[in-house]
């Protein structure tokens, strides 16, 4: 394929992918440009596990997996159903989540704190009631420590698992990432977050064993929406692979609660390879580094030359 022919195919695909992740493709969002500002290296920095994980393409699988796992907590699900505009503006919600992740990961400390405070302020109005895994009606708040903790656990496990499956070397190993990202938990009001991979997964197991999670029609409704996310037509074939990849990494009992079938063993290797191909293609389209990481590196270069 000639360069011109390739451009005709790749340019619209690249634009649609950037639009999906950033909300628009015609310019770099202002919040990314602001990451060049600030007077310190941030909470992590180049060579950190957080930069490696959140700057990698396996995050495309991790985001789907995190949403699925988070939906199993009836309190977290109630907040999404009652307050989120996920049906009316799903890509806007996705772009907002990516903004928080990248601001905490690549921004200065002040930017990370301010970005987290902004999210917590939005969460203050997210209150209501839900029926827990034991059939008891309880109040909820998005900033409630229990719910915030579950969101953190599901997020961290999803991003770590996806990177372990399809990412490269992880500085400090799995424990390094879990330990680092506990900083984000603290910024979101979660105290004493797990600091090792074993502690992280042990806590998820304990919550599951205690019957705090449940499936049912409301969960399956969210799963159907995530499975058939309203993406541009040209992105849908790749997304179907990413969705199946996310499901394949979930524990069997979590898949069962979500109403999702287990992936047959004979299909695991082809799915793993197909997912790797999709992620490699996304990396070609988006470039070797995210725009957020590039902005952070410009900030660090400025500080080094000061």
Tell me, what's the pLDDT at 157?
Answer: 98
Nearest-5° angle of CA 39, CA 43, CA 45? 85
Q: Where are the alpha helices (DSSP H) in the chain?
A: 3-22, 30-33, 49-54, 59-70, 74-83, 90-106, 109-123, 145-166, 173-187, 197-209, 217-227, 236-248, 252-258, 265-286, 291-305
Tell me, what's the pLDDT at 264?
Answer: 67
State the Cα–Cα distance between residues 246 and 254, nearest whole angstrom.
Answer: 12
State the Cα–Cα distance between residues 296 and 34, nearest whole angstrom.
Answer: 9
DSSP string, 29-92: -HHHHGGG--SS--SS-TT-HHHHHHTSTTHHHHHHHHHHHHTTSHHHHHHHHHH--TTT-HHH
User: Looking at the DSSP assignment, which residues form a beta bridge with residue 127?
Assistant: 141
pTM of the model: 0.91
β-strand pairing of 127-131 with 137-141? antiparallel
**10-residue mean pLDDT series, the chain (306 residues):** 52 70 71 94 96 96 95 89 63 81 97 96 83 86 86 97 96 98 97 97 98 94 91 90 95 95 71 95 89 96 88
Tell me, what's the pLDDT at 266?
Answer: 53
Beta-carbon count within 10 A of 240 CB: 16
Long-range contact pairs involving 3-10 (C-beta distance under 8 Å, separation at least 24): 10/285
Q: What is the pLDDT of residues 86-102, one digit of tens each?
A: 565 566 667 888 999 99
Tell me, what's the pLDDT at 23?
Answer: 62
């Amino acid at each position: 394929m000639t360069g011109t022919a390739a451009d005709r195919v790749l340019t619209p695909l690249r634009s649609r992918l950037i639009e999906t992740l950033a909300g628009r493709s015609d310019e770099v969002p202002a919040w990314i440009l602001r990451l060049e500002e600030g007077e310190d290296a941030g909470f992590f920095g180049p060579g950190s596990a957080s930069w490696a994980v959140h700057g990698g393409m396996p995050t495309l699988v991790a985001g789907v997996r995190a949403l699925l796992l988070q939906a199993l907590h009836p309190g977290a699900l109630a907040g999404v159903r009652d307050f989120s505009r996920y049906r009316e503006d799903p890509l806007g919600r996705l772009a907002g989540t990516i903004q928080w992740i990248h601001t905490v990961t690549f921004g200065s400390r002040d930017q990370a704190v301010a970005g987290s405070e902004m999210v917590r302020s939005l969460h203050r109005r997210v209150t209501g009631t839900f029926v827990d895994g034991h059939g008891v009606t309880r109040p909820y708040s998005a900033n409630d420590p229990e719910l915030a903790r579950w969101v953190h656990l599901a997020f961290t496990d999803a991003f770590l698992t996806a990177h372990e499956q399809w990412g490269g070397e992880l500085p400090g190993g799995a424990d390094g990432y879990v330990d680092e990202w506990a900083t984000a938990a603290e910024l979101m009001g979660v105290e004493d977050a797990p600091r090792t991979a074993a502690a992280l997964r042990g806590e998820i197991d304990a919550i599951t064993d205690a019957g705090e999670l449940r499936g049912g029609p409301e969960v399956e409704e969210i799963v159907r929406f995530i499975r058939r996310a309203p993406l541009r037509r040209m992105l849908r074939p790749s997304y179907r692979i990413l969705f199946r990849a996310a499901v394949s990494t979930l524990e069997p009992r979590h898949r069962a609660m979500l109403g999702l079938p287990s992936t047959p063993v004979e299909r695991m290797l082809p799915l793993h390879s197909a997912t790797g191909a999709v992620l490699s293609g996304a990396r070609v389209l988006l470039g070797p580094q995210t725009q957020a990481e590039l902005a952070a590196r410009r900030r660090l270069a400025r500080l080094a030359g000061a």
